Every structure is written in structure tokens, then in C-alpha cells.
Amino acid sequence: MQASNTAKEIYIIRHGQTDFNVRQVVQGRGINSDLNDTGIQQAKLFFNAHQEIKFDLVYTSSLKRTWHTVDSFISKKIPHEVRASLDEIDWGIFEGVEHHPKLQDEYYAIIEEWKKGNLAIKIEGGESAQDLSDRLTPFLKELSSSTADTVLVCTHGRTLRVLICLLLGIDIAQMDIFEHQNTCLYHLRYDGERYELIKENDTTHLLTLE
């Protein structure tokens, strides 16, 4: 990983809530859903809590639920870069399907295989954990070598977990130790050589959510 000459503050958040989240519909790379009313409110509360941070750059995935979540920052004319590498994992034939017992059994069986280190296992037509890690690797290099000192990244749940593992140098088989909620914040600090986790799954900005 290429080192930067300056320290960086990296703020990584998950997108706000969508109706697919509420209905427990599988929502991966192939579902380009909108935020619901709660998700819009979550995004506003995150902005209110962090608007004084002088972000140099905002990254989002190519899916609109991420850039809608941080639109208030983008509207401040902060440079915005879209990276499809930050898209959610592709859940293949499960995309757009409501949770049911057979789906849950298959889904959790794959998650258990990933925990065992069998990272090439995947849903039919979808991506594996290793596939997701591989497509995130160029973004890690870009992030570490960027001249931006304070960066906001808005991505998705599974992608966030893998990204945090990669930044911290943790085996991605352990990705599920990093919990997440809608608009949760992970704050990391980069000293030019390694990343340090400052905040984990922080949702204090949501305390006033009705």
C-alpha cells in the first residue's frame, strides 16, 4: 500500500435506511433503492452532527442510496468521487428477494463458510467475499495515496465490513466483528503507514431520531 506524506482522517458511514431494509429484502449491488423517510432523517442528523468537519473529499458508491445519504456534504461543494468498487456485494439470485426460511438457511450457511476462511463461496450469480475484497483493493491504494487529508466515505454494510478489515490489516474472515447500522460511523486515522480505529459503529447522532 502506497504511503501518503500526511496523516489522514477517514470517516466511513453506511447509507441511510431504505424500505428494502425495513422489509428485509435482500439489497445488494443490483438494487438501486432510494432512502425512505427514516433514512432521509438519519442523513440529516448525521450532517447536523458532523457538518463542521472540513472534509476535503467525499467518496460514494455508484448506488444512489449512498450519495443521497451524504448529499448535504456534496451540496457544500466538497469534491465528490463515485467509485463502483464501493458498491454493495452482489447477492446474485437473492437480489430483491424477501427473506424466507430457505433463503436464510443458504445465506447464513455462506456467512459461516466465510467465517471459516472459505472466502470464495458465493450465492449463485453473485460475488464472494474474496471477489468483494479484490474489487476494493484499488480503492485502498487510492485512499492511502490521496492528497486529501480528511475524507468521508459512504458505502454499504457488507462492503463496510470488508473495507474496515482491509484498512486495519485484519483477515476478512473476521468481518462480522464489525457491526453496522444505517448511517453508523467508523472513524479511522492514517499515519502514512497504518490505520488506527478511533470510533466504531457510532450512532450517537441518531439519539434524537423520533
Q: Identify the CATH number of the domain in which residue 197 sits.
A: 3.40.50.1240
**Chain segment 117-127, per-residue pLDDT in tens:** 999 999 999 99
**Residue range 35-63: mean pLDDT, rounded:** 97
Confidence of residue 210 (pLDDT cuts 50, 70, 90): low
**Chain segment 10-34, per-residue pLDDT in tens:** 999 999 999 999 998 889 999 999 9
Mean confidence (pLDDT) of the chain: 94
Confidence of residue 2 (pLDDT cuts 50, 70, 90): very low
Calpha distance 123→66 (Å, rounded):
24
The total domain count for the chain is 1
In a domain, 129, yes or no: yes
41 and 56 in contact (C-beta within 8 Å)? no
Calpha distance 209→16 (Å, rounded):
13
**Chain segment 92-138, per-residue pLDDT in tens:** 999 988 878 888 899 899 999 999 999 999 999 999 999 999 999 99
In a domain, 152, yes or no: yes
In a domain, 58, yes or no: yes
In a domain, 194, yes or no: yes
Confidence of residue 1 (pLDDT cuts 50, 70, 90): very low
**Residue range 50-77: mean pLDDT, rounded:** 97
pLDDT at residue 5, rounded to an integer: 52
**Residue range 147-176: mean pLDDT, rounded:** 97
Among 44-58, 94-108, 186-200, the least confident range: 94-108
In a domain, 88, yes or no: yes
In a domain, 125, yes or no: yes
**Chain segment 172-187, per-residue pLDDT in tens:** 999 999 999 999 999 9
In a domain, 5, yes or no: no
Query: Does the pLDDT of residue 4 top 60, yes or no?
Result: no
The pTM assigned to this predicted structure is: 0.94
Cell, residue 185: 460511523
Domain hosting 114: range is 13-206
Contacts of 105 (CB under 8 A, 6+ apart): none
pLDDT at residue 147, rounded to an integer: 94
In a domain, 4, yes or no: no
Calpha distance 202→19 (Å, rounded):
22
Bridge partners, 58 (sequence order):
80, 152
